[in-house]
Amino acid sequence: MGERKGGLELSRPVDQLEDNENWVNDSSLDHKGRVPLRASTGAWKASFFIIAIEFSERLSYFGIATSLIIYLTKVIHEDLKTAAKSVNYWSGVTTLMPLLGGFIADSYLGRFSTVFASTIIYLMGLLLLTMSWFIPSLKACDHGETCQEPRKIHEVIFFLAIYLLSIGTGGHKPALESFGADQFDEENPKERKQKMSYFNWWNFGLCSGLLIGVTVIVYLQDRVSWGVADIVLTMVMAISLVIFIVGRPVYRYRRPVGSPLTPMLQVLVAAIRKRKLPYPSNPAYHLYEAPKFEKSQGRLLCHTKKLKFLDKAAIIEDIGNSAEKENPWRLATVTKVEEMKLVLNMIPIWVATLPFGISIAQSSTFFIKQGVTLNRKIANGFEVPPASIYALAAIGMIVSVTLYEKLLVPFLRRMTGNERGINILQRIGIGMFFSIVTMVVAALVERKRLENVRQNAATNVSEPMSVFWLAPQFLIVGFGDGFALVGLQEYFYDQVPDSMRSLGIAFYLSVIGAANFLSSLLITVVDHVTGKSGKSWFGKDLNGSRLDKFYWLLAAMVGVNLCFYVLLARRYSYKNVQKFAVADCYEGDHDDHASSMA
């Protein structure tokens, strides 16, 4: 029988394990609870299984999400403003639920188990959607979509089903993406570089699922039936669950470490208790850090000069008092203090990305509804389903991610010598700039569409513009998402404490969720303000609305916010992991900003 390291069974002696490239050096385990071999676990061989289930989940999500406003207006018969709010509320809940799911994954269930349980819940929602279309007593009405007042039972079952999808997504999204990133060992230079590529190819798989969801699935909804589309989605999700389980032997796992909020509370309590202590003149000798060999989860962090009040939690009051070191409510390690600082420093960045989220929220509501009013016929009279226009955003994102990964990053690596090319916050800022361009283009196109409507009314002619007038704004949305959304995923995964990786992905998703709620609030406020003049920007239909003015408002909001974001990004200090002697961390305290990023 092999020896043990930290309670883990090894198949080789410990002295052959240290610094051996054959073994994974982080805190991962294989499926049998052993230190994993590098050649047989993790990296791309495991990530492909994980990206496969993400593909199917995004196929289902976008197949439903992009058509939701059409279903609500055509089948449930909600007016445009109510339907847009319903979509925003659902999208908001769906993208805020990962905060709970990420917490459960990091603290209690672990990421693999959370993904498995969430996928089961997701399947329940898809089955319920299918039943609501085929079981006679649950149908909207006896004559398909021709009735003007659907049964209440259908509405109840429909909303129950889509909110089950929200719960499933809440555990699925944060745990799955972070589980995929866990397959790469950050202590290994080759795998660390692969992890940077992982987020790009993750989004490539995501967009591929999105693309099929808004074309094939939406076509089935539009030309066959919503029920047939639901059957396809249910089958694909069930197959992907089997694929995910098949990959179990090659995954690397991280054990849940309990609530990540408790250590932060301990830091705060210890800092308050020691608030009257003077700040040490030499932090290297007066701040406590656990010996490096004692770490069981995560990595040790270097001390920084920001938020000095929290440093008092790590001041050793009595060097000879071992009891103090055993009480985390009285004495915190430098790493725990720095982890608290990391989370606090992320809050302004999170807030600064909300206007960007509000702008992209329009692509799944008003952009789609605009397509309904336009001429969607192409060669041989084929009519493009309205929600399929969203495929252009997926194409834009695929092109963006591919160009970034294959051309821009290699070029910048050669120019700067930095393995990342550009830092994460710069990438997000570029995406935010594209969102401004999107809103400007959308405003110009909507103004052109309204002029076309007025001309047709004056001449008593019905010649709507081509739907491909919307192509530029969708393509730019996708191109910007390839920078901003991918950057946000990497930022929130990389910069949170190691024990909060699933919650980190949830923080990224919560940007979109909170932005959807804020979008609904903004619509309500703008409708109220503009309605006082007798002409609200949001009429009963698009032709009686002024979405162009709303888009100009969003462009201005994001533009002003981008200036605020740039100031934050320039002052931001990235996570700094201990690589050598602890004393090296205190030379200048590594308080340089973007240059400090590993």
Per-residue confidence in pLDDT tens, the chain, 598 aa: 344 443 344 444 434 444 456 777 667 777 777 777 777 787 888 888 888 888 888 888 888 887 888 888 888 877 777 887 788 788 878 878 888 888 888 888 888 999 999 999 999 999 998 988 888 777 777 654 556 677 788 888 888 999 999 999 888 888 888 888 888 887 777 877 787 778 778 877 887 888 888 888 888 888 888 889 999 999 999 998 998 899 888 888 888 877 878 888 888 998 898 888 887 777 766 787 776 655 444 578 888 888 888 888 888 876 655 666 677 888 888 888 888 898 898 899 999 999 999 998 888 778 887 888 888 887 777 788 777 788 888 888 888 888 887 888 788 777 777 666 678 898 899 999 999 999 999 999 999 988 888 887 777 767 778 888 888 999 999 899 888 988 888 888 888 887 787 788 888 878 887 888 888 889 889 888 888 877 888 877 778 788 889 999 999 999 999 999 999 998 888 887 776 555 556 655 544 443 333 3
Separation between Cα atoms, residue 283 and residue 285, nearest integer Å? 5
- Tell me the β-bridge partners of 9: 4
Q: Are 489 and 507 in contact (CB under 8 A)?
A: no
DSSP structure string for 324-382: HHT-TTT---HHHHHHHHHHHHHHHHHHHTHHHHHHHHGGGTHHHHHHHHSB-B-GGG-
Q: Are 356 and 435 in contact (CB under 8 A)?
A: yes
Residue written as tokens 């009480």? 327
The tokens for 221 are 């909804």
Residue 319: per-residue pLDDT: 60
Architecture of domain 24-257 in this structure: Up-down Bundle (1.20)
Q: Which residues contact 381 (CB under 8 A, 6 or more apart)?
A: none
Going 508 to 511 to 514 to 516, the CA torsion angle's sign is negative
- Tell me the β-bridge partners of 29: 253
Question: What's the length of the chain?
Answer: 598
Report the CATH fold assignment for 343-576.
Growth Hormone; Chain: A; (1.20.1250)
DSSP structure string for 211-235: HHIIIIIHHIIIII-HHHHHHHHHH
Q: Are 357 and 95 in contact (CB under 8 A)?
A: no
Helix (H, G, I), strand (E, B) or coil at 87: helix
183: left (phi > 0), else alpha (psi -120 to 50), else beta? Answer: alpha
Residue 434: per-residue pLDDT: 93
DSSP structure string for 466-513: BGGGGHHHHHHHHHHHHHHHHHHHHHHHHHS-GGGHHHHHHHHHHHHH
Q: Are 30 and 252 in contact (CB under 8 A)?
A: yes
**Taking Cα atoms as reference points, which of 168, 158, 153, 151 lies closest to residue 226?**
158
CB count in 10 Å sphere of residue 156: 12
Separation between Cα atoms, residue 297 and residue 188, nearest integer Å? 17
**Taking Cα atoms as reference points, which of 261, 351, 347, 266 lies closest to residue 310?**
266
CB count in 10 Å sphere of residue 526: 17
- Tell me the β-bridge partners of 149: none
Task: Supply φ then ψ for residue 326, to 5 degrees.
Answer: -90, -5
The tokens for 381 are 């009279």
| Portions of the chain given CATH number 1.20.1250.20 | 24-257, 343-576
Query: Quick one: CA torsion of 36, 8, 293, 266, rounded to 10 degrees?
Result: 100
Residue 118: per-residue pLDDT: 92
Residue 595: per-residue pLDDT: 36
Residue written as tokens 């198949």? 11
Q: Are 190 and 44 in contact (CB under 8 A)?
A: no
pTM check: above 0.85: no
